[in-house]
Amino acid sequence: MVEQTASSNLVAVDVGNSRIKIGIFDRVAGSALTQPVEVFELQIAGRSGRFNATELDLWCNGNVVAGSKWLVGSVHRAAAQQLISTVTNWARRSKFNCPIRLLTYADVPLSIRVDEPARVGIDRLLAAFAANRLRQKDRAAIIVDLGTAITVDLLESDGAFAGGAILPGLAMSAR
């Protein structure tokens, strides 16, 4: 995981199948789960991954400070690439150094007990990481995430991610 200092901001990005959610955090402190000080959301136009880059530029102008570190968790490659390109261009124009890191399973401090960890969506692993920080020690946990898809995953009693299932989301099921 990328370490944060108290003087730098963290911009956490969740690139899903249908929208991008961005949160700015003042700092990551110890084991506390903190709330973002600013949030922003963009709709993604289907498989193309396109979104309104001008909206993101304007939001960055008013909210992101020089030196902010960006951590991007993405299940949509095209949208993630457009986001990285948009932020990189914005930072260059603003003369800001804003490092961007696209997270992989290797960045998540979690034991992953599946045959191919690289094939598990980063959204599922990050949800498991958060649940691991909240669950009672020596108790298993089930994580259910409802979005474009519904995921159901298992954390074993020792905190290891044991996999799960992906189901159609509510809108897809209704169609």
At 7 the pLDDT is 47
pLDDT at 131: 95
The question of whether 57 is a catalytic residue gets the answer no
The 10s digit of each residue's pLDDT in 37-55 is 999 999 999 889 999 999 9
Q: Is 83 exposed, middle or buried, given 0-12, 13-18 or 19+ CB atoms closer than 10 A?
A: buried
Beta bridge partners of 71: 12, 101
Q: Compute φ and ψ for 117, nearest 5 degrees.
A: -55, -30
pLDDT computed for residue 4 by the predictor: 39
Q: What pTM does this model have?
A: 0.86
Could you say which of 123, 138, 145, 153 is catalytic?
Answer: 123
pLDDT at 30: 55
Other Cβ atoms less than 10 A from the Cβ of 78: the count is: 16
Identify whether the C-beta of residue 114 lies closer than 8 Å to the C-beta of residue 161.
yes
Residues of the chain with pLDDT under 50: 1-7, 31
